[in-house]
Chain A
Amino acid sequence: MGELPILSVTTFLPVIGALVILGFRIVAGANFAGGASKGVALVVSLATLAASLIALSRFDFGASGFQLVESAPWFAGSSYKMGVDGMAISLIVLTTALTPLCILQSMKSIENRLADYMICFLILEALMIGVFCALDMMLFYVFFEGGLIPMFIIIGVWGGKNRLYAAFKFFLYTFLGSVLLLVALIYMYMVSGTTDIVALQNYPFTKDVQTWLWLAFFASFAVKLPMWPVHTWLPDAHVEAPTAGSVVLAAVLLKMGGYGFLRFSLPMFPDASLLFQPLMFALSVIAIVYASLVAFRQTDIKKLVAYSSVAHMGFVTLGIFSFNEAGIQGAIFQMISHGIISGALFFCVGVIYDRMHTRDIAFYGGLVHRMPVYAALFMLFSMANVGLPGTSGFVGEILTMVGGFQASTWVAAGAALGVILSAVYMLTLYRRAVFGEMTNEKLFDIKDVTPVEFFILGLLAVGTLVLGVYPSLAFDLTKQSTADILRLIGK
């Protein structure tokens, strides 16, 4: 051996960072810790990124199954087992790449209790990475549910005016899902005698059992994703969350739902997944069309982007439940791509929110006259969001639709309708906020992006373009995981 357990290092590095900041806070007081936390959090998040890239470099793209596996006994028959496949590691890199950008953004825009905020954020990062690494159900559950707590705190403490309502709603929905998930986990352990994910993926649950277990998992993942009709927590959570919170929420936390379906529901309950395919298709198409139409009518810029997220996650579930290569590859790609694009859009909103402290679209208008660079970047991300070919948004959408078409032409047609609607709401937003005459006097002194903002948005712009032009970067990683999933469900 001699090699570091790289997945554990990646997962727990942020916790160490959080402990250091906590140490400063106890020893030197909140003020000093606030200043120091900036540097510590940034360095730690960059180190985490480096660790995840080392993990990626050790990852064998062509091999099937889980790699970089670490295992140690834990309690009550469960074990501390970590390992990744291509899908997991691509989501981990997405997480570790976005976190430093979030921390960079937060340094300027979080005004109170910065040290506490950074602690929360780093712990959130650790838990998100852990979700994608865990190969044991109990471990997964701890990371999966644990992630709610820092997010809950970030919204509840650093959020907007209605933060308590939003946090409460967020809690209520996810709590319901969690309880059912836990019950299902305990039942699975009692039946199979193991909590090992790989073992459970090959465990033959009977059809009836599969149905009930599938529904319990569905309750949890559908809320997370979120799917219609359990999506209404998301717009409120986004509206109230601080910018970086929204970014992580949209870019990573939502992906846990899609990840859950692919890691658990499909391989463990293939019969039930097939049984519920029509339902999932219907909910996906409803999400796409319904959320797009609702987005069109929003007056709050963050709500608009949030509803757009709901619509785009509809493509993910559509692809997943088409049970074919194009659909699943497309769904994984769409998760990564949406992570970049929605993250970028929330950063874009953050830029003007930091300056004007309002999310009312009507307040803005004519921003292009004072913020040409911002306008160009925002245009790029808007186009990525409507799935223009050449951006990563297109790749995921077309593949999930191609996959969906093979299973149901109705579903593909419905999803394609969403592609028209996304242009409607996104271009309308752009027109109202960025184009037109600048009539609001309060905007006359608004400044274009700062170097830091330019750096953040520029990197994400490069990301969406590179993945859009050369998506094989991701496909090479996810090809084998897709094949594994298809093999497990017998397709």
Chain B
Amino acid sequence: MAFQDLAAIFIVLSPGIAAAIAGLGQRVLGDKGSMAITTGILVLAAALASVVFYNQVFGHHEGPAHGHTLTLMRWFDVGTFVADWAIRIDTLSVVMMFVVTAVAALVHIYSIGYMADDPHRARFFAYLSLFTFAMLMLVTADNFIQLFFGWEGVGLASYLLIGFWYKKPSANDAAIKAFVVNRVGDFGFALGVMALVFVMQVPAEFLGADGKPTVAYLEMLHVEKYSSIGFDTVFNAIVANAPVQPIGATSAVPIQQVTFDFLGQHVWGLEVIGVLLFIGAMGKSAQVFLHTCLPDAMEGPTPVSALIHAATMVTAGVFLVCRCSYLYEHTVVAANVVTVIGAVTCFFAATVGLAQNDIKRVVAYSTCSQLGYMFFAAGVGAYQAAMFHLFTHAFFKALLFLSAGAVIHGMHHEQDMRNMGGLRKKMPLTWAMMLIGTLALTGVGIPGIEQLHYGFAGFYSKDAIIESAYASHDTFAQFAFWLSIVAAFLTSFYSWRLMFMTFEGKTRADHHTYDHAHDPPVSMALPLVLLAVGAVAAGGVFYSAFVDHHQAEFWGSAIFNGPENHVLHDRHEVPFWVLVAPAMAWISGLVFAIIFYLLAPSVPRKMAAHGGPMHSFLSHKWYFDEIYHFVFVRGAALLGDLFWKVGDKKLIDGIGPDGVTGVAKASAGGLSKLHTGYLFHYALVILLSAVVFAAFVLLGQGR
């Protein structure tokens, strides 16, 4: 077995083992032992992942990189619903393995300092490692079901970590909200998988006598075993436009031309699968409509926010779309949905970020917005640029979160920026780290001059996305382009607002807190410095491999671009003004922030105090929470009560067991009870007939 394979097995499985040891053995090991084991294993995994990643980037390939899969164990084998526990090793999974283990290891180290006073540290570290394990299972899956295992596994870990301080009602609420909102996305994902199985049935002429696909069919798809939910089978079938025979179809159809009835609509098969899977991605990656859990998730300890809600879990949706480039390259509607939702999110979240006062929530909305960038990049076909931004973003956003954590730690758990200010002198290191993160996030660099193409990490990746959107020329891509320029301006404004409100001016903190404010201890400072190195250098060093000259060899078969998709090439030919537009955006954002928060800080304060519809609209986050609470939470409670108290108690029991005795009593005693009894009889009969009728009409005629 090659080094790479052994390393991958260790990288993926060891955090799971670490979690089990720390979780089950915490009484024996104690806090120190649990922390040492989990952190040690994670550091080792990160080191191995770095080597594997280094080989992938700088290793000598003969032509484009090809992936392969290590099969660990059979999981499902029911008809064509076949899935293994497996580790898929290709460029996408190697990049993700590196990002996940690197950030996870740093967050483990950081947490040693950050959680030093917490009585439940062992549990915390077990959860962190559990999360890392689930995330690694997600990114190394070779089929949709293992991906879903990781997908829900990170959801569980996120639920446990957000609710880590389980005494706090707000933390409990946020944890449940996160899990449930994720499940709404998973609803789409699961339906997407079901639709895939529905479509991916072997045509009758390719079925052998044993009911299994013939060798000829398997060869057409370049797979050894047919699996309607396996990446290889599905993606190869799409590229080859192989014939499939969806359930109920009388003959084989090329997969790209498949149509079927979905919820009463006649739809294109791949389009509907693409949209459904993307709904899953929206839930995981906090895209607009399903974003409401991300800011609340800040109730968890800050290292959690850095790991889960910045660098890794929330990017899983982007990863999914990039993993499915084979699918989205063959869809029009689904890809456009990705573009539009991504673009709207990048703009929407940036506007909300303007009016937040909680330091972590500003960073959270910023994450939401940056994820929007990644999505519309994938939507316009620049999957490589999306992955590149995912990669650089992991460094600078984790840096921002952990720096925010350092501020909170140094300020005795104060998170409101209105009670900060003037902290630069008190915590110079934290200030410097936050500054680097801000420069990387806002995309500071020198655009437009090829010889001087230098900048912070975000500069390379974000500009690549914005240029790709422009180069794509499609109407939706243009929409995304303009929104992304505005969002870049807003990003710069709220980021510098955060910097200035926290570190500059006269302090608004109380005496005691301010006097005791301090830079973090070494265990917390070290991860910050390492992440800062990434935030500075990750863009320039990997630019060529990820999105420029060497991208085709680097990504190999992991990402597919259709023959008409030249967006990564065309982005070099955009006009000069497009190249400098992002720089104009961040410069003007900085200027406005200087005016409002350094020169005339009384103006925004007055604006906030006066309120006004715009301010309350933004500070209430466009009223999403209020509307959702009213419609869904109250709605579910209302329906639940209705079904229980009226449906079960009055109707069903009233007529059934209680009714029998009730009728007997009533006929003896008086007629009034009998009447109400009749009333419910009628109601039940009507209800039941309606159900039976609807069942036969709606469900009887096919799908």
Contact = CB atoms under 8 A, between A and B. Distances in A.
A401 B152 contact: no
B305 interface: no
B187 interface: yes
Interface in A396-412: 398-399, 401-402, 405-412
Given A296-B637, A296-B640, A428-B176, A413 B698 contact: no
Interface in A433-488: 435-437, 469-472, 475
B261 interface: yes
Interface string A276-296: 011101110010001001111
B247 to A, nearest CB: 5
Contacts of B597: none
Nearest to A169: B657
Contacts of A435: 163, 166-167, 172
26 contacts: A172-B660, A233-B657, A278-B696, A279-B696, A281-B699, A290-B643, A293-B640, A294-B640, A294-B644, A298-B644, A324-B79, A325-B78, A326-B79, A399-B78, A402-B197, A406-B247, A412-B191, A416-B191, A417-B187, A420-B186, A423-B183, A435-B163, A469-B85, A470-B73, A471-B75, A475-B78
Contacts of A412: 191, 194
A26 B460 CA distance: 88
A188 B198 CA distance: 38
Interface string B241-272: 00000011000000000000111100000000
B180 A278 contact: no
Interface string A385-401: 00011100011001101
Given A428-B176, A475-B78, A297 B644 contact: yes
Interface string B135-160: 00000000001001101110010010
Contacts of A80: none
B116 interface: no
Contacts of B612: none
Given A169-B657, A173-B657, A419 B166 contact: no
A388 B152 contact: yes
Interface residues of A, number: 67
Contacts of B573: none
A413 B184 contact: no
B121 to A, nearest CB: 14
Interface string B489-511: 00000000000000000000000
B74 interface: yes
B183 A419 contact: yes
Contact of B176 (A366, A390, A401, A427): A427
Nearest to A298: B644
Instruction: For the complex of A and B, list the 8 residue pairs with the smallest distance between their C-beta atoms, beginning with the closest.
Output: A282-B695, A278-B699, A297-B640, A405-B194, A389-B149, A293-B640, A435-B166, A294-B644
Contacts of B262: 409
Contacts of A295: 640
B273 to A, nearest CB: 12
Contacts of A436: 166-167, 169, 172
Given A296-B640, A419-B186, 18 more contacts: A172-B660, A173-B656, A229-B684, A232-B656, A282-B699, A290-B647, A293-B636, A294-B647, A402-B193, A406-B198, A409-B261, A410-B264, A416-B190, A427-B159, A431-B163, A436-B172, A469-B73, A475-B77
A275 to B, nearest CB: 9
Nearest to A295: B640
A415 B610 CA distance: 48
B648 interface: yes
Interface residues of B, number: 71
B176 A472 contact: no
A399 to B, nearest CB: 6
Interface of B is mostly: helix
Contacts of B648: 232, 294
Nearest to A278: B699
Interface in B648-703: 648, 651-653, 656-657, 660, 684, 688, 691-692, 694-696, 698-700, 702-703
B118 interface: no
A230 B684 CA distance: 12
Contacts of B179: 423, 427
Contacts of A398: 145, 190, 193
B195 interface: yes
A470 B695 CA distance: 36
Contacts of A395: 76
Contacts of A283: 691, 695
A424 interface: yes
Contacts of B640: 293-297
B652 A229 contact: yes
A181 interface: no
In the complex, which of the residues A173, A296, A394, A420 has the most CB atoms of chain B within 10 Å of its own CB atom? A420
Interface string A216-233: 000000000000011011
Given A405-B194, A424-B636, A281 B695 contact: yes
Contact of B691 (A286, A298, A399, A471): A286
A50 interface: no
Interface string B632-649: 000011011101100110
B191 A413 contact: yes
Interface in A233-250: 233
A160 to B, nearest CB: 18
Contacts of B172: 431, 435-436
A329 interface: yes
Given A293-B640, A326-B79, A398-B145, A405 B176 contact: no
B653 A232 contact: yes
Interface in A146-174: 168-169, 172-173
Given A420-B183, A423-B179, A402 B194 contact: yes
B149 to A, nearest CB: 4
B81 interface: yes
A359 to B, nearest CB: 16
Contacts of A281: 695, 699
Nearest to B177: A427
Contact of B699 (A229, A293, A297, A410): A410
A53 interface: no
In the complex, which of the residues B175, B179, B660 has the most CB atoms of chain A within 10 Å of its own CB atom? B179
A399 B78 CA distance: 9
Contact of B636 (A172, A296, A402, A470): A296
Nearest to A170: B657
Nearest to A418: B187
A168 B695 contact: no
Contacts of A324: 79
Contacts of A389: 145, 148-149, 151-153
B197 A424 contact: no
Nearest to A282: B695
A416 B194 CA distance: 10
Contacts of B77: 472, 475
Nearest to B700: A278
Interface string B52-88: 0000000000000000000001111111010001000
Nearest to B648: A232
B694 A401 contact: no
Contact of B198 (A282, A330, A399, A405): A405
A298 to B, nearest CB: 8
Interface string B12-25: 00000000000100
Nearest to B639: A293
Interface in B320-354: none
A421 interface: yes
Interface in B16-39: 23
Interface string A315-332: 000000000111001100
Contacts of A431: 163, 172, 175-176
